[in-house]
């Protein structure tokens, strides 16, 4: 029960983080595409930039956690996937999703 | 006289009846007429006929309603009524459902008042003085008129997806008591309504609020429970 409440709280808090991060993300996109978008430009912005690395890492982690908790709820309702085994599965999916995003941010940081 | 076509979901299948369409008749009047004149073994439930007892709820043309307070002319489609027992509850027979799971969940949600100054349910020595205009009392009053009809419970998708879900009425009752300054069971009650079988499964779709014949707002009550539990987790 406690755990379920924490999942719920985590989803709300990550939703809050996502709302802010999506806003920053969209603003960055709009600024970045002005005058065309090139790989060199992206690398120039992100390479060695700790601030951006941290931002994308937090963004990816929040998205992974938020999405997995949400999918857990829907799968419980629609497919009857309930219990500790499935919870572990969703935790794995969330962390793997986040890891993909963080790896991409890490790669650009070192590019 | 014009005829009303009535299709009733009985335990052994759909049965069709025709009754006289009158100027003024409630859905309960129609069911009673069918039982008295045409189908003496038709099972259904009612008591007060005036929206007090909450026992006459059924699904009328797809929507859960109090049949005693529903005029036929407001809900008939092409002169037809389709009646089913309330959804999300076991059927005893025909239109009568077993309300046991519904009330068991009230108990699970700790829906009983627990006097602060007389923990074992004893009668308190003194009357508590609670001004009706105090904000806490008004929050408690907002949900107190529930008569346990089960209309909201039958209208909630989450109940149909998760049979363990406490449902809007039990959670509305819990929130009412959480706001009652005379009640001493707040902590246990919030624990009892937390988690996947409790308020955290509600999607705030407001189906319950839309359908409640007493115009109560279980959806907001549930949001209140989530809020209280959230702050309890962050700052225990
Ligand atoms: C702007 C960013 C976002 C915000 C503000 C946000 C907000 C929310 C909120 C408040 C809920 C709870 C809904 C409920 O209780 O019924 C939710 C559920 C959900 N979100 Fe997000 N979200 C965002 C982004 C995302 C992203 C990027 C994904 C995909 C990875 C996602 C996937 C989900 C899923 C699958 C659910 C479950 C639906 C449910 O439980 O009803 N969300 N979101
Ligand atoms: S608001 Fe919550 S309790 Fe009410 S019908 Fe929707 S899911 Fe069910
Ligand atoms: S909240 Fe409304 S619909 Fe639900 S049981 Fe109480 S009176 Fe009936
Ligand atoms: S018969 Fe009592 S509420 Fe309808």
Total-model pTM: 0.91
Residues B106, B90, single domain; the answer is no
Q: How far is B196 from chain A (nearest CA, A)?
A: 6
The answer to whether B200 contacts chain A (CB < 8 Å) is: yes
B74 and B90, same domain (yes or no): yes
In angstroms, the CA A10 to CA A16 distance is 10
Instruction: Decide: helix, strand or coil at residue B81.
Output: strand
Query: What is the rounded distance in angstroms from the CA atom of residue A21 to the CA atom of residue A40?
Result: 23
Enumerate the residues of chain A whose CB falls inside 8 A of the CB of residue B161.
77-78
* Contact flag B162-A4 (C-beta cutoff 8 Å): no
Judged by its nearest atom, the ligand closest to the C-alpha of residue B153 is 3
Does the pLDDT of residue B236 top 70, yes or no? no
User: Using 50, 70 and 90 to split pLDDT, how confident is the model at B232?
Assistant: confident
- Contact list, B109 vs chain A (CB under 8 Å): none
Nearest CA, atom 3, ligand 3: B212
B142 touches chain A (CB under 8 A): no
Report the CATH number at residue B226. 1.10.1060.10
Tell me the chain B residues in contact with residue A82 when contact means C-beta distances shorter than 8 Å: 196
Does B139 lie in the same domain as B124? Answer: yes
Q: Say which residues have a Cβ less than 8 Å from residue B197's Cβ, sequence separation at least 6.
A: B162, B164, B165, B166
Same domain, B107 and B222: yes
Q: ipTM of the assembly? A: 0.84
Any chain A CB within 8 A of the CB of B196? Answer: yes
Q: Do A77 and B233 touch (CB under 8 A)?
A: no
Distance B90 CA to ligand 1 centre (A): 33
Q: What is the pLDDT of residues A61-98, one digit of tens each?
A: 999 999 999 999 999 999 999 999 999 999 999 999 99
Q: Where in chain A are the domains?
A: 2-109
State the pLDDT confidence band at B121, using cuts at 50, 70 and 90: low
Domain that holds residue B150: 99-234
Count of structural domains within chain B: 2
SS3 B186: helix
Tens of pLDDT, residue by residue over A18-33, are: 999 999 999 999 998 8
- Domain check: are B128 and B65 in the same one? no
- CATH 1.10.645.10 describes domain A2-109: no
- Does the distance separating the beta carbons of A5 and B229 come in below 8 Å? yes
C-alpha to C-alpha distance for B76 and B56, rounded to whole angstroms = 18
- A1: closest chain B residue by CA: B195
Q: What is the pLDDT of residues B178-204, one digit of tens each?
A: 999 999 999 999 999 999 999 999 999
Q: How would you label B191-216 residue by residue, b for 16+ Cβ within 10 Å and e otherwise?
A: bbbbbbbbbbbbeeeebbbebbbbeb
Please tell me the residue having the least CA distance from ligand 4 atom 1. Answer: B49
Together in a domain, B225 and B117: yes
Lowest mean pLDDT among A39-53, B71-85, B98-112: A39-53
Q: Which of these, B121, B174, B114, B167, lies nearest to B144 by C-alpha position? A: B174
CA distances to A3, A98, B77 from A93, in Å: 18, 9, 48
């Amino acid at each position: 029960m406690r755990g379920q409440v924490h999942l719920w709280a985590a989803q709300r808090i990550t939703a809050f983080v996502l709302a802010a991060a999506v806003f920053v993300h969209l603003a960055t996109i709009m600024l970045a595409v002005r005058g065309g978008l090139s790989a060199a430009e992206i690398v120039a912005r992100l390479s060695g930039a700790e601030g951006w690395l941290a931002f994308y890492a937090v963004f990816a982690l929040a998205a992974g956690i938020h999405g997995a908790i949400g999918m857990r709820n829907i799968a419980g309702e629609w497919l009857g996937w309930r219990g500790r085994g499935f919870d572990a599965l969703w935790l794995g999916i969330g962390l793997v999703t986040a890891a993909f995003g963080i790896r991409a941010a890490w790669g650009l940081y070192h590019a | 006289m014009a005829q009303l076509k009535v299709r009733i979901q009985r335990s052994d299948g759909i049965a069709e009846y025709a009754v006289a369409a009158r100027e003024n008749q409630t859905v309960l009047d129609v069911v009673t007429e069918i039982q008295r004149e045409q189908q003496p073994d038709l099972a259904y439930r009612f008591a007060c006929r005036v929206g007090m007892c909450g026992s006459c709820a059924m699904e009328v043309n797809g929507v859960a309603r109090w049949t005693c307070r529903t005029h036929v002319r407001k809900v008939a489609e092409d002169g037809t009524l389709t009646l089913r027992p309330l959804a999300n509850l076991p059927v005893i027979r025909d239109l009568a459902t077993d309300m046991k799971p519904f009330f068991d969940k009230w108990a699970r949600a700790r829906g009983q008042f627990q006097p602060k100054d007389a923990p074992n349910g004893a009668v308190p020595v003194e009357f508590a003085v609670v001004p009706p205009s105090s904000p806490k009392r008004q929050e408690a009053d907002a949900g107190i008129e529930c008569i346990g009809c089960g209309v909201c419970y039958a209208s909630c998708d989450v109940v149909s997806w998760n049979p363990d879900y406490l449902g809007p009425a039990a959670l509305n009752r819990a929130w009412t008591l959480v706001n009652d300054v005379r009640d001493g069971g707040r902590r246990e009650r919030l624990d009892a309504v937390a988690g996947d079988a409790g308020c955290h499964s509600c999607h705030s779709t407001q189906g319950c609020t839309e359908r409640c014949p007493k115009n109560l707002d279980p959806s907001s009550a549930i949001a209140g429970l989530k809020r209280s539990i959230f702050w309890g987790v962050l700052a225990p």
